[in-house]
Amino acid sequence: MRIWDDILKLNESQKVIPVRILRRIKGGMVVDLLGIEAFLPGSQIDVRPVRDFDGWVTKTIDVRVVKSTIQAKMCCQP
């Protein structure tokens, strides 16, 4: 769970971190975030509308973690 702790810290601090785009999926991209596959919405890839999503695959970009679903799961566990 150490990696999830690191991701939660990134979410809290809003620190920018480089991620590698692995593949395109419906609605966005799958990126490698500290060894975990994470979803990056297509609307968040660039400030301008992206026309060629396939051209972004394998590129490394800087992102901020703005939402983590692990938070909801952790708060509700007995």
Question: pLDDT tens, 26-67?
Answer: 989 999 999 989 999 988 888 888 888 899 999 999 999 988
CA 47 to chain centre: 16
pLDDT for position 46? 84
Residue of 23 and 5 predicted with greater confidence: 23
pLDDT for position 76? 46
28 in Cβ contact with 39 (< 8 Å): yes
* 39 phi and psi angles, rounded to 5 deg: -90, 135
pTM (predicted TM-score)? 0.79
H helical segments located in the chain: 2-13, 70-75
